[in-house]
C-alpha cells in the first residue's frame, strides 16, 4: 500500500503523508493510555471505568463540553507557542512565563482602564497580553542571538522570574484591595473586557483555532515562514543563503511568546476573570507535549490540545469514580516519551521510517548562536 508506492519511487501523496504523520501520535496516545491503565490496575482501580468516566465527564454533557473547551483553549496557545519556536529550531520551555505575564497584563488593562466601550477595551486587553508575552519571548531570542546563551536555560530561568514578578504584582501594586480579600489576586476585570461565549463555544477557542490556521499559513506560504523553516533546518545554510539568522531567531521567539501571552490573556478575560497566581500552572509544560504530539504542526496542535482538554476536564469525574486524577499527568508524560522516541513505536509495530522528513535538531550545543 502506502509503503509499496514509496518504495517504487513515486513521491507520497498528500494523504499518504498525512497518514504517515498521524500514525506515530495516534499510537503514542493509545500506548500511553495502556500504560496508564496498567498503573491504575496496580493502584487497585478499574481503568476502563475510569477512562469511561473521564470521557463521559468531558464530552457527555453540555457543561462538560464547555469545560473541555475552556481547558483546551490556553493549551492550544501554549502548544502553538512551542510548535512555532520549534520550526525555527528553538526550544521554548518558557511558554509558562510568557503565558502568565500575558495573563496579568491583560488583567491589568481589564480592571484598570475604566469607561472604554467593549470593542476598544477587549482588543486592548488582548493586545496587552500579546505584547507582554512577545517581550518575554523576545528576550531569550535576543540573548541567543547576541550572546549565544541557549534558550533552553534562559527561558526556564525567565519562568521563575515571571512567577516572582506576577506574584509581586498580585500581592502588591495590582492587588485586589476589596474588603475581605486576603489572597494574592488582581481585581476582577470590567465587563467591557470580558471575552464572551457563543453557545457552548468560548470565543477564545475560535481565536485559538484562528491563530493555529494563521501560524500554519505564515509558515507554509510566506517568505518569512520559509526563512523560519530554513533557519530551523540548517542555520549555517540559511546564513549562507543571505538570511539574517539572528533576526529570524528573535522574531520567532517573539511570536512564540506572543502566542503564549495571548493564551494567558484569553484565559484571564474569558475564563478566570482576573489574574490569580497558581491558576494556570503546568500549561507551559503541557504545551511541549502537545507540540510534539502534533509533530510541531500548528494545525495538529488543535486536536492534540483538545485531547488534553478532555483529560483535564474529565479529571474530576475520574476522581469521583475512584481513580486518582493525577494519573493523567503520567499518561501525558508517557505520550511525550513515545512520541519523542518514535523508534520505540516503530519497533513495536514494525513500521517503516518515513523518508526525508523535515527534522529540527535542537542539541546543537550550548555555545552556538545558530
Partner 1 sequence: MPNNAMTMIRQRVSWLLVAGVVALIFVSYGATPAVTTALLASTVRQSTPLVLGALSGIFCERSGVINIAIEGMMLMGAFVGFLANVYTGNLLVAVLAAVLMGAFMGLAHAFMSITLKMDQIISGTVLNILALELTGFFYQQGLTTQGKLTPVRIPVLADIPLIGPVLFDNPPITYLSLVLVVVVHILLFRTVWGLRTRAVGEHPKAADTVGIDVIRMRYINVIIGGMIAGLAGGYLTLEAVGSFERAMTNGRGFVALAVMIFGKWTPLGAWGAALLFGFANALQTQFQFLGISTIPHQFVGMLPYLLTIVVLAGFVGRARPPAAIGQPYEKE
Q: Which residues bind partner 1 (CB under 8 A)?
A: 91, 93, 143, 146-150, 152-154, 156-161, 164-165, 167-168, 171-172, 285, 288-289, 292, 324, 326-327, 329-330, 332-334, 336-337, 340-341, 343-344, 361-367, 369
- Select 7 or 361, whichever has its Cβ closest to partner 1: 361
Q: For helices 47-59 and 62-87, what crossing angle results, to 10°?
A: 90
- Select 310 or 331, whichever has its Cβ closest to partner 1: 331
**Residue whose C-alpha cell is 512555532:** 84
Q: Please report how close the Cβ of residue 359 comes to partner 1 at its closest, in angstroms.
A: 9
- Select 247 or 347, whichever has its Cβ closest to partner 1: 347
- Select 77 or 285, whichever has its Cβ closest to partner 1: 285
- Select 164 or 222, whichever has its Cβ closest to partner 1: 164
The CA distance from 208 to 215, in Å, is 10
Q: Please report how close the Cβ of residue 340 comes to partner 1 at its closest, in angstroms.
A: 5
3-state secondary structure 67-106: HHHHHHHHHHHHHHHHHHHHHCCCCCCCHHHHHHHHHHHH
Say if CB 25 and CB 293 are below 8 A apart.
Answer: yes
- Select 35 or 200, whichever has its Cβ closest to partner 1: 35
Q: Please report how close the Cβ of residue 189 comes to partner 1 at its closest, in angstroms.
A: 23
- Select 32 or 269, whichever has its Cβ closest to partner 1: 32
Residue 183, C-beta contacts closer than 8 angstroms, at least 6 positions apart: 276
Beta strands (DSSP E) in the chain are 197-198, 201-202
Q: Please report how close the Cβ of residue 146 comes to partner 1 at its closest, in angstroms.
A: 8
Which residue in 93, 129, 130, 90 sits closest to 108, CA to CA? 129
With 0-12 / 13-18 / 19 or more C-beta atoms within 10 angstroms meaning exposed / middle / buried, residue 270 is buried
Which residue in 280, 213, 219, 275 sits closest to 251, CA to CA? 219
Residue 299, C-beta contacts closer than 8 angstroms, at least 6 positions apart: 212, 213, 216
In the chain, % helix, strand, coil (3-state, to 5) comes to 70, 0, 25
Q: Please report how close the Cβ of residue 282 comes to partner 1 at its closest, in angstroms.
A: 9
Q: Please report how close the Cβ of residue 63 comes to partner 1 at its closest, in angstroms.
A: 27
Q: Please report how close the Cβ of residue 171 comes to partner 1 at its closest, in angstroms.
A: 8
Q: Please report how close the Cβ of residue 366 comes to partner 1 at its closest, in angstroms.
A: 5
Say if CB 178 and CB 187 are below 8 A apart.
Answer: yes
Amino acid at each position: 500500500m502506502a509503503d509499496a508506492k514509496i518504495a517504487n519511487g513515486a513521491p507520497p501523496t498528500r494523504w499518504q503523508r498525512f497518514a504517515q504523520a498521524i500514525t506515530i501520535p495516534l499510537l503514542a496516545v493509545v500506548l500511553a493510555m495502556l500504560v496508564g491503565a496498567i498503573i491504575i490496575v496496580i493502584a487497585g482501580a478499574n481503568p476502563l471505568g475510569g477512562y469511561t468516566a473521564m470521557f463521559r465527564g468531558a464530552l457527555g454533557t453540555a457543561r462538560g463540553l464547555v469545560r473541555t473547551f475552556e481547558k483546551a483553549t490556553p493549551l492550544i496557545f501554549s502548544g502553538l507557542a512551542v510548535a512555532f519556536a520549534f520550526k525555527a529550531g528553538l526550544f521554548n520551555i518558557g511558554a509558562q512565563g510568557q503565558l502568565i505575564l500575558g495573563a496579568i497584563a491583560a488583567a491589568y488593562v481589564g480592571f484598570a482602564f475604566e469607561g472604554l466601550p467593549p470593542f476598544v477595551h477587549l482588543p486592548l486587553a488582548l493586545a496587552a497580553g500579546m505584547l507582554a508575552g512577545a517581550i518575554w519571548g523576545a528576550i531569550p531570542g535576543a540573548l541567543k542571538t547576541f550572546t549565544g546563551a541557549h534558550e533552553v536555560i534562559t527561558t526556564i530561568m525567565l519562568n521563575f522570574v515571571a512567577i516572582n514578578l506576577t506574584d509581586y504584582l498580585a500581592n502588591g501594586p495590582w492587588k485586589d484591595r476589596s474588603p475581605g480579600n486576603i489572597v494574592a489576586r488582581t481585581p476582577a476585570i470590567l465587563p467591557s473586557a470580558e471575552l464572551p461565549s457563543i453557545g457552548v463555544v468560548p470565543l477564545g477557542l475560535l481565536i485559538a483555532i484562528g491563530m493555529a490556521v494563521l501560524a500554519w499559513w505564515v509558515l507554509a506560504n510566506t517568505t518569512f515562514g520559509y526563512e523560519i523553516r530554513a533557519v530551523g533546518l540548517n542555520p549555517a545554510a540559511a546564513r549562507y543563503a543571505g538570511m539574517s539568522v539572528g533576526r529570524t531567531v528573535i522574531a520567532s521567539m517573539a511570536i512564540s511568546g506572543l502566542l503564549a501571552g495571548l493564551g494567558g490573556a484569553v484565559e484571564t478575560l474569558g475564563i478566570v476573570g482576573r489574574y490569580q497566581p497558581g491558576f494556570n500552572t503546568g500549561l507551559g509544560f503541557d504545551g511541549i507535549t502537545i507540540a510534539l504530539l502534533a509533530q510541531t504542526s500548528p494545525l495538529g496542535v488543535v486536536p492534540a490540545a483538545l485531547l488534553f482538554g478532555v483529560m483535564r476536564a474529565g479529571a474530576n469525574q475520574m476522581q469521583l469514580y475512584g481513580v486518582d486524577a493525577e494519573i493523567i499527568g503520567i499518561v501525558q508524560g508517557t505520550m511525550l516519551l513515545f512520541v519523542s522516541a518514535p523508534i520505540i513505536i516503530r519497533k513495536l509495530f514494525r513500521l517503516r521510517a518515513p523518508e526525508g522528513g523535515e527534522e529540527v535538531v535542537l542539541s546543537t550545543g550550548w555555545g552556538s548562536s545558530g
